[in-house]
Amino acid sequence: MIGAAAILGKDAKNAWKIARRDHKKTPSRNHGWPMATMAGALRVQLEKPGQYILGDSLEPLTGDKILGALRIRDVTIVLWALLCVGVIVAMRFFFLPF
């Protein structure tokens, strides 16, 4: 997600900072990292009242932020797919040559 944020011109440095700082604030071990990363990349604060607050409210939470989050999600999926294909191709050529 940080790579996708960097590609899209979002705040990748802040995404890493907030992810490291806030990932443990959610009750789920799995949800904290992507939610905190997204909050940092978009420079917004995500909150579940009475449960946790992720990120810093550097910019207002608007509809454009939702579209930005969807773009980050889409680019993350593409990057992950490319990584998986690269690993499969590398395994094929280096470990299973025919």
pLDDT given at position 29: 85
pLDDT given at position 94: 85
- Residue 26 neighbours by CB distance under 10 Å: 18
> 46 has which bridge partners?
54
pLDDT along the chain (98 residues), means of 10: 97 97 93 96 96 96 96 98 95 81
pLDDT given at position 93: 87
pLDDT given at position 71: 98
Quote the CA–CA distance of 36 and 93 in Å, as a whole number: 37
pTM of the model: 0.87
Per-domain residue ranges of the chain: 2-95
Quote the CA–CA distance of 7 and 72 in Å, as a whole number: 9
